[in-house]
Chains A and B, each alone.
Chain A
């Protein structure tokens, strides 16, 4: 593995290897001393063209727990806001000796461009590009699902046979795309639940089922339900008019106490955060014992540590005989 650009690039073996590595690393994170010396002397650059405090601090924590040096490069207030191109930014990072670049960009495909352009030698990790992919989010979701639903010895296992519903604004969601790709690779059966206006063109070609009715899908018996963040602005005509009103969305697609009770007793509730309490998820559901939303944050650090370890710890291909 030279880069992590898309969940669709991962084979089942790749994905299981990342999850197993994350499991061993998660075990070290319960210790008093959480820092490992593994990536000492390596430099990880967080290159964020879009604001994302959660993802950035998760990557920053992961890199620091492995003793890498972290440079945070936010587009706001930097040379990028003065009109510097992605190419010049990349050349600058190469000159500074970056070993890995974690990139968040509003344009789909920017990480791919960075990885394939030859501008820099660093490993590129996609931390979210446009409406395209967010592979580490899918990996941490898969890790969380495996931990709760595959037992008692999850190491080496995939998610075969699990039924997962992903509910909400699929159209604008790179989280949904990444999860459909990865969960399918790992053998889970995924159903997207969304109003027709919030489904992308071509969704029928994705390796999943699609439904417009949350209650029908819940009645089929799920192992997990993943709620997506819905932006309130999309509910008004100014924001694209995807749905008549937040209240109507919440009634038809929100996870409330009644729908929570309809889930089997072993099922878990996921959300990538940040949540809109009262819109896509009620406070009852968000704070229930079924909710693994806070655990997802901790698992995110372990999964990102695993990705950085697998990308950076070994010799680079051309250096290894």
Chain B
């Protein structure tokens, strides 16, 4: 709690070790459910879903040598499919990289940091249908904070985090923010 990187009023609910363990567990869950790495494609949703997907891919490859991050890992940008584009200043478009073999008849695991309203995942499902027709789509998130506005649920969750909608959940990752942590702030604001 005395970490100088933690902003005032923020509470750390997951540390680096917790995040690491959660990702390892999710990797095992994915492989167990899929009965191996065959036909799996892991797609990260920018910004923070991307490093999470990369870490997940490393763990999948470590457990199941048949998993090849080179052909089974990608990114899916959802900017063009968002339903709130007209409510904010124009957003930059991110990159979409889908494995060369495509996603047709594969099992796609979408990876994001926080599941909240579900609107990002709705946009991701639309974006996915423009790229191909997967056999199944599954969702892995580091944090599920509730307050869904659409009928969407995650298949693999790092941590269920009951929150008030006035609170702010912030995921920090080494790749984007310099360290690993999940923070909650704005409690009883």
Q: Which residues of A contact B (CB under 8 A)?
A: 17, 20-21, 24-25, 27-28, 31, 33, 35-38, 309-310, 313-315, 319-320
Contact = CB atoms under 8 A, between A and B. Distances in A.
B1 interface: no
Contact of B93 (A31, A35, A309): A309
Contact of A25 (B81, B93, B126): B93
B35 interface: no
A27 B131 contact: no
Given A20-B92, A27-B95, A36 B80 contact: yes
B4 interface: no
A114 to B, nearest CB: 22
B5 interface: no
B86 interface: yes
Residue with the highest number of chain A CB atoms closer than 10 Å, among B86, B91, B92: B86
Interface of B: 77, 80-81, 85-96, 126, 129-131
A284 B44 CA distance: 46
Contacts of A17: 92
A314 B77 contact: no
Contacts of B81: 36-38
Given A36-B81, A37-B80, A314 B89 contact: yes
B93 to A, nearest CB: 4
Nearest to B81: A37
Contacts of A21: 92-93
A31 B90 contact: no
Contacts of A314: 85-86, 88-91
Contacts of B88: 314-315, 320
Contacts of A320: 87-89
Contact of B96 (A27, A37, A315): A27
11 contacts: A17-B92, A24-B77, A24-B94, A28-B130, A33-B129, A37-B80, A309-B80, A309-B93, A315-B88, A320-B87, A320-B89
Given A24-B94, A31-B130, 7 more contacts: A24-B93, A28-B96, A38-B80, A38-B81, A314-B85, A314-B91, A315-B87
Nearest to B90: A314
Contact of B90 (A20, A27, A37, A309): A309
A44 B126 CA distance: 24
Given A21-B93, A24-B93, A314-B91, A38 B130 contact: no
A25 B96 CA distance: 10
Contacts of B126: 37
Smallest CB-CB A-B distances: 8 pairs = A314-B90, A24-B93, A38-B80, A36-B80, A314-B89, A33-B130, A313-B85, A315-B86
